[in-house]
Amino acid sequence: MSGSSYKYGALATLLFLSLPLTAVDKKKEPVVVVPTYQGINLGFELGRPLLGLLSSDKGYSVKADVNLKNTWFPTFEMGYSSYDKTAESGTQCLASGTYYKLGVNKSLVYLGNKAQNMFYAGAHYGFSSFSYTLNNLSWYSNYWGDNALMNITNQRGVVGWLELTIGVRVDVWGPFSLGWSGQYKSTLHVSGGATSDPPYIPGYGENLKPMAGLALHLYYKLPF
């Protein structure tokens, strides 16, 4: 056998022997299949009840989210809010009612097999039907500017708004976790009384467009 033939034969042998190793190296890692249902978390708002001890805006809320594949979290929230504030002019605003929020969050980063620690973003639709009263409204009764006071009582308000959310949730102990979130809100439709617009909206805040908010929740993961 010539020298060149020997070299070609040795090269072919090496290539043949390396094929199994190459196949093993290129073998893909097994794909981890995450079950669709990963549990339900109940959230109890902590921020508003605590701040309500010091402010005119009081209330509470409860929310639930369903963990789907550690990625999507459909959410539903319901709460109650009351408001009692008197401006420097003497005008008093009273408002109270329930509100609801429905939407979905998406995890951007998570740790843990059940997304116990998570950074997320989401979008929600908020809705509130409530009553409000405006006392000591000033108005001018004639051309000479005589000042008079009037009350607008038991008005009905119906408001819907869009809420964009970004937040973080961290595991604290066992099934409990804490979550902080920031919201950017903007009203979509506002209806009030025949002669007034609601200055305050339960679950939204002052009737300004846009609005920002912060929330703190304690979460409990249901055992099923």
Question: pLDDT, tens digit, for every residue of 171-186?
Answer: 999 999 999 999 999 9
Query: Cβ distance 48 to 68 under 8 Å?
Result: no
Euclidean distance between CA atoms 28 and 95, whole angstroms: 61
* Res 139: pLDDT: 63
Domains of the chain in sequence order: 35-221 (2.40.160.20)
Residue 21 has what DSSP assignment?
A: H
* Statement: the pTM of the whole predicted model exceeds 0.85: no
Which residue stretches of the chain have pLDDT < 70?
1-29, 138-148
pLDDT at res. 23:
47
Kindly write down the DSSP assignment for every residue of 164-178, as one continuous string. Answer: EEEEEEEEEETTEEE
- pLDDT tens per residue, range 58-76: 899 999 999 999 999 999 9
